[in-house]
Amino acid sequence: YVAIWLDQAGEEKLAASSGSETTDLVSFPLAYQGETIGRLEVARRAPNEQFSEADYRLIEKIAQQAGAAAQTVRLNTELIRSRAQIVNEREDERLRIRRDLHDELGPMLAAQGLKLSAARQMMRTKPEKAESLVDEVIQQSRQTVADVRRLVHGLRPPVLDQLGLVEAVRDLARNHGGGLALEIIAPSDGLPHLPAAVEVNAYRILLEAWNNAVRHSHASRCLVKFQAEQDMLVISIQDNGVGMPKDYRSGVGLRSMRARAEEIGGSIRIDDGKPHGTRITARLPLPAFEGNTK
């Protein structure tokens, strides 16, 4: 009997097994680039029979080989989970928007129509009643404008539609300044047209990077550089501060930046700035999907 257990999202899960299960097992760690990512379990040939030195060495070698394959399986599982989660969140959002619009806005507009028709009829005969109906509708209408605005703001950062990505960063620096001077370098003829996802995720990455620089770097200046390569938007954010503490490199802010880049097929890189400070580089692919594959 042989079984492979993998650590998946903090839980150990059975990935593969062969032979009939038994309890008398010897366990070998599966590692990938120094990190233990699971266990290889092997049954003794006979109860209480010890493995020989050579057996151990052989199985350890197999466990090493299996480590790389196991890492791929973990990565695949994680990708499938991540995609499913994005789809689940998308459909939850659609449901929420649908309910906001269909169950609230729709009936409200219908009720407005009725009130206005009634007001229209009695305008000459009962002007006071008509006035009060029109007042109600005006009041409700203001409420509706506010509701729609709230719904709209939740969908994507409004500043992107008002200012575009580059100016949105300048705006960000103005509003979350923290005494940090911002310099922006962008192509003189502007960025190419960015897909909505690249624009939004770039903005969220920049927001996170800026906040980090303001809160932790003790920097006085921050340089944000936008470059459009053939099929890639490359953004680097460089400050002249104290650099990142080593333990931050896996912190929440960085994880969220990385997730933002990865969900659109991009990557984040962190380098020590020269002569000091930190440089964060985001590489975000500009998709060229001819035709939808659905």
| 12 sits near a second copy (criterion: CB under 8 A) | no
| 80 sits near a second copy (criterion: CB under 8 A) | yes
Between 151 and 234, whose beta carbon lies closer to a second copy?
Answer: 151
Burial of 137 (0-12, 13-18, 19+ CB in 10 A): middle
Between 43 and 256, whose beta carbon lies closer to a second copy?
Answer: 256
Q: How far apart are CA 155 and CA 161, in angstroms?
A: 11
Between 81 and 276, whose beta carbon lies closer to a second copy?
Answer: 81
108 within 8 A of 144, measured Cβ to Cβ: yes
> Which residue among 14, 138, 185, 242 contacts a second copy (CB under 8 A)?
138
Between 29 and 154, whose beta carbon lies closer to a second copy?
Answer: 154
Q: How far apart are CA 144 and CA 109, in angstroms?
A: 9
> Which residue among 57, 149, 215, 276 contacts a second copy (CB under 8 A)?
149
| 14 sits near a second copy (criterion: CB under 8 A) | no
Q: How far apart are CA 57 and CA 193, in angstroms?
A: 57
**Interacting positions 40-79 with a second copy (CB under 8 A):** 72, 75-76, 79
Determine the residue type at 208: E
**Interacting positions 178-207 with a second copy (CB under 8 A):** 195-201
Q: How far apart are CA 90 and CA 96, in angstroms?
A: 10
> Which residue among 110, 181, 185, 242 contacts a second copy (CB under 8 A)?
110
| 21 sits near a second copy (criterion: CB under 8 A) | no
Residue 17 tokens read as 């097994």
Q: Which residues contact 53 (CB under 8 A, 6 or more apart)?
A: none
Helix-strand-coil percent breakdown of the chain, rounded to 5?
50, 25, 25
Size of the site for a second copy (CB under 8 A): 74
> Which residue among 12, 92, 171, 183 contacts a second copy (CB under 8 A)?
92
